[in-house]
């Protein structure tokens, strides 16, 4: 077991590699050392102070940090902390969204507030508006993270608007191509490493021409990024596309 003072001298990426190889001491050291980082990420999502000893959101964030240590892949281009921040936030957002759909005990303060509202519909609308505002904030944060990820592939939002397929069938075909690309380990690894499409290999796996792949390559890459990252809201958009197709 290495002393903490010695672990401090080991580069973070190297320690993550040790964790992935089964180093329990390195795992526990990082979980302990990055508590402030985890709490800060949780606070940014919840828009309030997070108490590591009391708030469930911190425990969810801690679990997300632990998951990030085992799922991090340096070849994707992000630093570990950038990746961990996304995983933590997405896991907390998912937790909040799931729990917002469940009935929960009403505190005395909440009961008092609701009693001040004469119309029960007002209670429902107020809660819906609050949830809408929370989703809007988190969606905006996710879009900013997506923008940063696009930049790593030398893509921009304005460029995507210009190159996105104009016809519905073409868009759906490009999305299907992106899914095939993402689900193939060899092809997806090429994208992570080269930051571009493996056109020659991909053309043998899809029912579109090489010319079409080249024309839609930026849009396909943009969809691939959504699939390969933990983007809850953007993935919901892709689910909606699939539902409309069916």
The dotted CATH code for 1-104 is 1.10.1740
Residue 116: pLDDT band with limits 50, 70, 90: very low
Domain residue ranges in the chain: 1-104, 157-245
Residue-wise pLDDT tens digits, 15-39: 999 999 999 999 999 999 999 999 9
For residue 102, the model assigns a pLDDT of 53
For residue 182, the model assigns a pLDDT of 92
Average pLDDT over residues 212-220: 94
Residue-wise pLDDT tens digits, 89-112: 888 888 887 776 555 444 434 443
Q: Longest Cα pair distance anywhere in the chain, in angstroms?
A: 66
Structure token pair of residue 138: 């988190």
Least confident of 17-31, 124-138, 148-162: 124-138
C-alpha separations of 242 from 171, 173, 176, 207, 212 in Å:
11, 11, 9, 18, 21
Closest CA to 216 of 170, 179, 185: 170
Q: What is the DSSP letter of 206?
A: S
CA 1: distance to chain centroid? 34
Give the dihedral of Cα atoms 127, 129, 134, 136; nearest 10 deg: 160
C-alpha separations of 47 from 44, 89, 132, 189 in Å:
5, 12, 15, 36
Chain mean pLDDT for the chain: 81
Of residues 63 and 109, more confidence is placed in 63
CA gap 12, 30 in Å, rounded: 9
Closest CA to 59 of 76, 46, 72: 46
């Amino acid at each position: 077991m290495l002393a903490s003072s010695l672990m401090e001298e080991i580069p973070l990426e190297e320690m993550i590699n040790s964790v992935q190889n089964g180093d329990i001491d390195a795992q526990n050291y990082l979980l302990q050392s990055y508590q402030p980082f985890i709490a800060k990420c949780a606070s940014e999502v919840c828009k309030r102070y997070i108490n590591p000893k009391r708030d469930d959101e911190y425990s969810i964030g801690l679990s997300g940090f632990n998951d990030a240590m085992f799922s991090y892949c340096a070849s994707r281009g992000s630093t570990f902390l950038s990746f961990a921040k996304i995983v933590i936030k997405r896991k907390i957002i998912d937790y909040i969204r799931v729990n917002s759909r469940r009935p929960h005990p009403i505190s005395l303060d909440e009961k008092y507030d609701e009693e001040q509202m004469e119309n029960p519909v007002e209670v429902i609308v107020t809660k819906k508006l609050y949830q809408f505002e929370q989703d809007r904030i988190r969606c905006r944060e996710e879009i900013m993270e997506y923008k940063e990820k696009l930049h790593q592939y030398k893509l921009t939002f304005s460029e995507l608007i210009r190159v996105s397929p104009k016809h519905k069938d073409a868009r759906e075909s490009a999305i299907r191509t992106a899914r095939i690309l993402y689900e193939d380990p060899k092809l997806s690894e090429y994208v992570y490493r080269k930051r571009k499409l493996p056109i020659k290999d991909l053309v043998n796996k899809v029912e579109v021409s090489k010319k079409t792949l080249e024309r839609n390559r930026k849009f396909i890459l943009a969809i691939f990024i959504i699939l390969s990252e933990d983007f809850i809201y953007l993935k919901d958009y892709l689910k909606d596309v699939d539902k409309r197709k069916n």
